């Protein structure tokens, strides 16, 4: 069975600082990995995804993530935080089958201090 671990529930950074949100997964087959963002009172929207190929994936709003199979990780980073990045971030995993479903982590709330 697939699962996602996002350690910690809240990360706080200063504006302009590095953002690092951690995600570890478990999957019995090569996974598809996703990061979604949720702004207050809104639905989730896709930040980026890894399916196959290049292990460093670039997404919207300057975010990127690196798939590391040996560490079963897919950490999300952004070199310089902006106030507008304050939101909840979810890592998700699915397997490659035809009727595969997403399994979400518990989410991490990112706060950005002026």
Partner 1 sequence: NAGVTQTPKFRILKIGQSMTLQCTQDMNHNYMYWYRQDPGMGLKLIYYSVGAGITDKGEVPNGYNVSRSTTEDFPLRLELAAPSQTSVYFCASSYEGGRTEAFFGQGTRLTVV
How many angstroms separate the CA atoms of 114 and 111, rounded?
A: 10
How many angstroms separate the CA atoms of 74 and 81, rounded?
A: 19
Q: Per CB under 8 A, does 100 bind partner 1?
A: yes
Please identify, using beta-carbon distances, which residue of 20 and 29 lies nearer to partner 1: 29
| Contact with partner 1 (CB under 8 A) among 44, 59, 62, 73 | 44
Tokens, residue 43: 């639905």
| Contact with partner 1 (CB under 8 A) among 35, 105, 110, 112 | 105
Q: Per CB under 8 A, does 45 bind partner 1?
A: yes
Q: Per CB under 8 A, does 17 bind partner 1?
A: no
The CA radius of gyration of the chain, in Å to the nearest whole number, is 14
Q: Per CB under 8 A, does 86 bind partner 1?
A: no
């Amino acid at each position: 069975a697939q699962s996602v671990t996002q350690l910690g529930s809240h990360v706080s950074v200063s504006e302009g600082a590095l953002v690092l949100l951690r995600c570890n997964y478990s999957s019995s087959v090569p996974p598809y990995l996703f990061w979604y963002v949720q702004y207050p009172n809104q639905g989730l929207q896709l930040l980026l995804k890894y399916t196959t190929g290049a292990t460093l994936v670039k997404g919207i709003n300057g975010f990127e993530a690196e798939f590391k199979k040996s560490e079963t990780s897919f950490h999300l980073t952004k070199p310089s935080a902006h106030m507008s990045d304050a939101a909840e971030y979810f890592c998700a995993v699915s397997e490659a089958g035809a009727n595969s479903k997403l399994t979400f982590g518990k989410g991490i709330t990112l706060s950005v201090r002026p």
